[in-house]
Amino acid sequence: MSAPVEELLLEWFRAQGRELPWRKTRDPYAILVSEVMLQQTQVARVVPRYLAFLERWPTVDALAAASPGEVIREWQGLGYNRRALNLHRAARRIAAAGWPDDLTELPGVGRYTADAVSRFAHERELLPVDTNVRRVIERTGGEFGPASAHALMDLGATVCLARIPRCDACPLVVTCPSRGRRYEPLRKQGRFEGSFRQRRAETLRLVASKARRADDLEPDVLESLAADGLVEVSSGRACLPR
């Protein structure tokens, strides 16, 4: 995609880009927290929790000094609680040995998250490709540079939507070969209501509020939570890890 078209995208972003708190920092820890929270959780839900998390643990050393149970408790409501444990484990590794050259060595950090921290904290010349960025690139057939990272994310999240893109609001519509197309829904995740995931979440919420008798909890759910390191069972009691 030509430079003038990329400039159209950046011009749109300057006027329409989202104001998000993690875009106002170059602190790799703060950016890592935001990226982990944003995995499978909507931006609107993340913003207040991100601010509260950093107010409580403003540095990687502060988070590393917390107990796993404290972090799990703070994470309640964001879902996918293993992310909290991985973030805490990553913080402890960084506090002990510094930031690794390859961030994918950190627990829970994949290629995209590593690239996002490298780009947004250190301004490395690479383009982090998440679901939204990939969608825009595939539909437009474009080639975009690292400077377009946030713009591509916002375009994919607010305009180039998964099923029914808002082509009338897209700055790239004139040259986009996919303009006007509609898309079949992707495979849906199973219903949360009544699912094992819901039972896990409810059980973890109970244990987070106070230690519980193991016999009062569903055995299969408790076993699953314990296997993930989200609860500890000792002397017939289930509690958060200490």
Task: Tell me which residues are annotated as active site.
Answer: 35
Question: What are the φ/ψ torsions at residue 193 (nearest 5 degrees)?
Answer: -60, 120
Question: Can you read off the two tokens belonging to residue 113?
Answer: 């998250």
Tell me the residue type at 168.
Answer: D
Nearest to 88 by CA among 109, 104, 103, 66: 66
**131-140 helix and 149-158 helix, angle to the nearest 10 degrees:** 90
Phi and psi torsions of 146, nearest 5°: -55, -30
Going by the DSSP 8-state scheme, the letter that residue 188 receives in this structure is P
Q: In the numeric block, which tokens belong to residue 233? A: 């069972």
Which residues, 6 or more positions from 182, have their beta carbon under 8 angstroms from its beta carbon?
A: 163, 164, 165
